[in-house]
Amino acid sequence: MNHTRYKAIIAYDGTLFHGFQRQNNVRSVQACLEKTLTKLNSGHPVIVQGSGRTDAFVHALGQVIHFDLETNRDCEKLRFALDTQSDEDIAIISIEKVSNDWHARYNPHQKTYLFKLDIGKPRSPFNRNYSSYFPYPLDVKLMQEAIQYLIGTHDFTGFTATGGSVEDKVRTIYRAEIYEYNNQIHFLFEGNGFLYKQIRNMVGTLIKIGNQRMPVEQITKILITKDRSLAGPTAHPEGLYLKEVKYLS
């Protein structure tokens, strides 16, 4: 059957979602989008594919999805309809048509994640769902030194949650930066893919280094030994944002 494939860039506030992926009996971004798209498609079911999952409470500034409709629509009208008919915590930034074999997950892409850490005293009540909080001393220079060791191609087994199904744990990080922004510290990671909880485990380890309860060299040790128990705790999901997905084709 003929259909048109649409690629959309979306943003969502993850606070009230149990993650991106459709699951029984809980609210997910994917299920919300599919419900609205099905309505816009005269009741015929529409399946949404994302570039990847995000966990419960994790936000997106630029998640990418694709879906198929049997009809050829005006992209801006479709964007407006999907945006205004979706719940207020999902926004549709743009929609474009792509070829029928284009796939949000399988087409090669790079991802950028941002992690926001609030260090203000007191914690801003407005950031409680939008950043993690660490009110203790942090040496930003030490963290900036340590993060350099994460850049490059490494086996990130030591930074992923145990029990994942992915066999190959080698990934490449192209860019990793830490900067101060108002009363926050922002961690930025750009790479060709990230393992389950990898960003949050890297951030939790960097915070422990910044708090001087781990040496800078711990990063290299974790990469070499692949030992998760040497890394810091998993940082909180509410600080994490999927910022951008860049497709190479």
* Interacting positions 129-158 with a copy of itself (CB under 8 A): 130
Contact pick of 90, 202, 203, 242 for a copy of itself (by CB under 8 A):
90
Under the criterion CB under 8 A, does residue 75 sit at the interface with a copy of itself?
no
State the nearest-atom distance from the C-beta of 168 to a copy of itself, in Å: 34
Query: Which run of H or of E encompasses 37?
Result: helix 29-40
The one-letter code for the residue type at 194 is: F
Interaction with a copy of itself in 1-60: which residues (CB under 8 A)? Answer: 11-13, 59
- Of the two residues 67 and 241, which places its CB atom closer to a copy of itself in the complex? 241
123 binds a copy of itself, rule: CB under 8 A: yes
Q: Does 113 bind a copy of itself (CB under 8 A)?
A: no
Count the alpha carbons within 13 Å of 16 in the hemisphere toward its beta carbon: 6
Total residues found in the chain within this entry: 249
AA identity, residue 122: P
Q: Which is nearer to a copy of itself, 88 or 168 (CB)?
A: 88
Show contacts of 102-105: CB within 8 Å, 24+ apart.
102/5, 102/7, 102/66, 103/49, 103/66, 104/7, 104/49, 104/50, 104/51, 104/64, 104/65, 104/66, 104/245, 105/49, 105/50, 105/51, 105/52
Decide: helix, strand or coil at residue 129: coil
Q: How far is the CB of 91 from a copy of itself (least distance, A)?
A: 4
Task: Please state the closest distance from residue 233 (CB atom) to a copy of itself, in A.
Answer: 20
- Whether 55 is catalytic is yes
Q: Which residue in 55, 83, 87, 155 is the catalytic one?
A: 55
Residue number, 59 or 109, with CB nearest to a copy of itself: 59
Q: Identify which of 230, 246, 116, 231 has the alpha carbon closest to the alpha carbon of residue 193.
A: 246
- CB of 215: closest distance to a copy of itself in angstroms? 30
Kindly list the residues in this chain that would bind a copy of itself in the complex (CB under 8 A).
11-13, 59, 79, 83, 88-93, 122-126, 128, 130
Which residues are identified as catalytic? 55
